[in-house]
Amino acid sequence: MAEEKGLNKPVKLKADLAALLGAKTLPRTEITKKLWDYIKENKLQTRTVNGKPENAGKNIVADAKLIKIFNNTKITGKNGKVVDFTKLKEGQTIDMMQIASVVSANIE
C-alpha cells in the first residue's frame, strides 16, 4: 500500500488529545472529524461568544475535556497571528475556524 501523505498521513497525538480521542496516532482529517463528533455529541456549539450573543457563526464551548486541549494551544500562524488559548477557562468559547490551530498545537 502506498504511504499516506499530507492530511491523510497519521501523526502522533499529544497526551491530552490522545486521551480524548482514544488513539495515539491519527491522520489530521480523522482528528478533526473526531473532535467535531465530540463537540456535536456534547452540544458544545453556540452562537454566542463567552455568553454574549454574536452573529459570528458557530463557536465552540470549552468543556472539562476540551479545555485541556485548548490550553495546550499557543502557535503562530503563517500570517504571523498568534493563537493563544493557554489562559482560556472552562465555559469560554473559541471560533470554529480555530480548530485547525488547536489540532496543530496538539500533535507532534
Place of cell 458557530: 58
Tens of pLDDT, residue by residue over 12-57, are 999 999 999 999 999 999 999 999 999 989 989 887 767 665 544 4
pTM, 2 dp: 0.84
Distance CA 12, CA 25 (A): 4
Domains by residue range for the chain, with CATH? 8-105 (1.10.245.10)
Which one, of 104, 97, 88, lies nearest residue 31 by Cα? Answer: 104
Residue 8, pLDDT > 90, answer no
Gap between the Cα atoms of 32 and 60, Å rounded: 13
User: With pLDDT > 90 as the criterion, what percentage of the chain qualifies?
Assistant: 66
Please enumerate, as own/partner, the contacts of 79-88 that have beta carbons within 8 Å and a separation of 24 or more: 88/62
